[in-house]
Homo-oligomer: A and B are copies of this chain.
Amino acid sequence: MKKWKRSSRLVHMTQELMQNPHRLLTLSSFAERYQAAKSSISEDLAIIQEVCQEEGLGELETVSGAAGGARFLPGVDPATARDQIDQLCGRLADPARILPGGYLYLSDLLGDSALVRDLGRIFASVFARSGADAVVTVETKGIPLAYAAAAHLGVPVAIVRKHNRITEGSVVTINTVSGSSKRLGSLSLSRRSLQEGARVLIIDDFMKAGGTIRGMIHLLHEFHADVVGVGVMTDSLVEERLVEDYISLTTVAEVDVKEKKIRVVPGNFNMEQQGGILHGKDSDR
């Protein structure tokens, strides 16, 4: 087995930690893999930790003791997050997005895999300490954001369906009333897609009154799940909100169909940072 130089170890360890977010990689496994003393591995981890902290990449959490090691929690520094959100506001405010009925075209943004990854990382940073062990979203447009957040949190995704499908096996279904348009609908979640008692982070692209998200929360009660957070890319100003406790990255403040103008501002997301991890509004719940 080859003996690794520190420089090569640093490259490979950085890669391993980033590829396995929120998972504890042990000193022993590193020491064996690189044929190096645990003390050398600890020094390597200290270098990686320093870079993560100084550059706002997230936190490298070290665990001491016999089974000790390190776990990487991806984060974003507040300046970068603000910059990404400002850019998103600019892109959302493009009047060409206005569709008949005042709907907004968002598919280009949700198709931009680099943007989606960055937003997923912001969500993962905000909810890094939420203890979420699954991300739940509703088909279709929220799916990429949910996966991006889940990939950075190292947890699985379950997708709530608006149309029950045979390929979902046994499902739990609830009926819903949309908060803004009062339309009836249903939401289904496959029994097997979420463990009973899971701690769930809900991620979606867009929220108006919040009827769909309230429906998802009710549906998740059927799984005895604990909703530890709700994050949306964009919300819009409404008179009555059915969900109060959530984080939005941006807010569509006004859509003037006649004048072809959209006003978009940063969401209710007040960034603070502790130990390389962003904190949103309700991060301490």
A15 within 8 A of B: yes
Please indicate the chain B residues that have their CB under 8 angstroms from the CB of A143 in the complex: 140, 143-144, 147
Q: Are A167 and B106 in contact (CB under 8 A)?
A: yes
Closest to A158 in B: B111
Complex CA gap A151/B192 in Å reads: 27
Interface stretch, picked from A6-14, A81-89, A243-251, A252-260, is: A6-14
A105 touches B167 (CB 8 A): yes
Question: How many positions in chain A have a CB within 8 Å of any CB in the partner chain?
Answer: 54
A190 within 8 A of B: yes
In the complex, A139 has a CB within 8 A of chain B: yes
Q: How far is the CB of A154 from chain B (nearest CB, A)?
A: 7
Is B140 a contact of A192 with CB atoms below 8 Å?
no
Q: Of B10, B139, B167, which contacts A7 at CB under 8 A?
A: B10
**Nearest Cβ on chain B to A261's Cβ, whole angstroms:** 18
Chain B residues with CB under 8 Å of A144's CB are 143-144, 147, 157
Contact at B12–A15, with CB atoms within 8 Å?
no
A111 proximity list for chain B (CB < 8 A): 156-159, 193
Asked if A50 lies at the interface with its beta carbon under 8 angstroms from chain B, I say yes
Q: Is the CB of B167 within 8 A of A103?
A: yes
Q: Is A169 an interface residue (CB 8 A)?
A: yes
A155 to B15, CA, bound (A): 21
Q: Does A99 contact B11, Cβ atoms closer than 8 Å?
A: no
Q: Is A48 an interface residue (CB 8 A)?
A: yes
A117 to B153 alpha-carbon distance, docked (Å): 13
B193 and A147 within 8 A (CB): no
